[in-house]
Amino acid sequence: HGEDVKEYYFYIDSTPTHSYMKYLYKYPQAAFPYGDLIETNRRRSREEPEYELLDTGVFKDDRYFDVFVEYAKDGPEDILVQITATNRGPEQADLHLLPTLWFRNDWSAWIAAPAEKPNLAQIEAAAGTSRVAVRHPVLGEYILDYEGDVPLLFTENETNNERLFPGEANESPYVKDGINNCVVAGNPGAVNPEKRGTKVAAHYRFAVGAGQSATVRLRLTPAGQSGKAQATATAFGAAFDETLAARKQEADEFYRSVTPSSISPDQANVMRQAVAGMLWSKQFYFFDGDDWLAEHHAHPLQAGSHPSRNSEWFHMLNQDIISMPDK
């Protein structure tokens, strides 16, 4: 028991080009019951049903947030993001939202052929906004704008070796769970005071009334892009809302063109969400078994290796676009 994802999320909408996407996450207002899920499922036999998140009572009295995330493109690399969290509970509730950007770690010393390390850094922004310079040796340079003068928390997207492998030192004092340790554990020293790293989150805080919503907006654009999206002052102007509305309308038009006229509105909605789920779950999957085993010092054909899972798969090389709905 307990091997599947114990969270509730739904892929609501997406066009084939990903010009518009919408996602829903059910976020409990009480502490997430990790321990209860693990221990109860551990005690249950194979003859008993799985102990699911809903069984824990964490959603009692509808004390949760519906968190809707929308993406809309104003160009191939100009990505608008809107996050709306609605309090479904009977009382006002505190909400911490941490929209996060990070680089996949391909630079650490344990990697067989480390790449050049990318960088994120806070830079000057117009009043009422916060801005991050995004620099990657292959992908190029981008600007990430956050609406609001909000604290930015920086760390490295690197494994906390000291926690997972006692006796092994971390590559940096700022590790991938540093933002969690800062916000949840109350340790401000877990994030980089120099406001740079390879992982960043804006820390939004709201007190959301019953039935009310809080909204935040982000925008990721190429650093050299000219026009309205380049200037932070206009990144969240009226054009932002117009673009979002236009992409929604185009999504509606697309699904009207492919939905059989013979089905009911409810069936059409099921079809739309089913297609959206496949599009959201599409991802590039790359696994080089030979490199993976070498990086984990477990290659059976190399001296000094130790037993490990996948040790017989050194010949495997996967490189394809696949659908992974439970990623």
Picking from 142, 159, 68, the residue whose alpha carbon sits closest to that of residue 101 is: 142
- CA gyration radius for the chain? 22
Cα–Cα distance measured from residue 17 to residue 254, given in angstroms and rounded to the nearest whole number? 11
Structure tokens at 79: 């990505």
Separation between Cα atoms, residue 304 and residue 312, nearest integer Å = 16
Ramachandran sector of residue 167 (left: φ over 0; alpha: ψ -120 to 50; beta: rest):
left
State the pLDDT at residue 142.
97
- Residue 309 amino acid letter: R
Query: What residue numbers bound the domain in which 183 lies?
Result: 99-202
Does the CA dihedral 103-176-192-132 come out positive or negative? positive
How many domains would you assign to the chain? 1
User: How far, in Å, CA of 19 to CA of 74, rounded?
Assistant: 8
pLDDT computed for residue 228 by the predictor: 41
- Nearest-angstrom CA–CA distance, 106 and 327: 20
N-term to C-term CA, the chain: 18
Contact 23, 69 (CB under 8 A): yes
Q: pLDDT (tens digit, 0 to 9) for every residue of the chain, 327 residues total?
A: 445 778 999 999 999 999 999 999 999 999 999 999 999 999 999 999 999 999 999 999 999 999 999 999 999 999 999 999 999 999 999 999 999 999 999 999 878 789 999 999 999 998 899 999 999 999 999 999 999 999 999 999 999 999 988 888 999 999 999 999 999 999 999 999 999 999 999 999 999 999 999 999 999 999 986 434 444 457 898 999 999 999 999 999 999 999 999 999 999 999 999 999 999 998 888 888 988 888 777 888 888 888 888 888 899 999 998 887 765
Q: Answer yes or no: is 158 within a domain.
A: yes
Contact 260, 266 (CB under 8 A): no
What's the CA gap between 173 and 218, in Å, rounded? 28
Does 252 reside within a domain? no
Compute the distance between CA of residue 127 and CA of residue 145 in angstroms, rounded to an integer. 12
Q: Is residue 317 part of a domain?
A: no
DSSP state for residue 56 in the 8-state scheme: G
Residue 226 has a pLDDT of: 40
Query: DSSP letters of 163-201?
Result: HHSTTPPPSSSS-TTHHHHHHTS--GGGS-TTSEESEEE
Residue 194, domain member (yes or no)? yes
CA 29 to chain centre: 19
- Single-letter amino acid, residue 35: G
Residue 39 in any domain: the answer is no
Tokens representing 168?
């092994």
**Among 286, 280, 290, 292, which residue's Cα sits nearest to residue 320?**
286
Q: Could you tell me whether strands 129-136 and 140-147 are parallel, antiparallel, or unpaired per DSSP bridges?
A: antiparallel
For residues 81 and 73, give the distance between their C-alpha atoms in angstroms, rounded to a whole number. 9
Does residue 173 form part of some domain?
A: yes
Residue 52 lies in a domain: no
**Are the beta carbons of 299 and 307 closer than 8 angstroms?**
no
Exposed / middle / buried, residue 93 (Cβ in 10 Å: 0-12, 13-18, 19+)? buried
* 170 is a domain residue: yes
CA–CA dist 308, 142 (Å, integer): 39
Q: Which residues pair with 169 in a beta bridge?
A: none
8 Å CB contact between 276 and 270: no
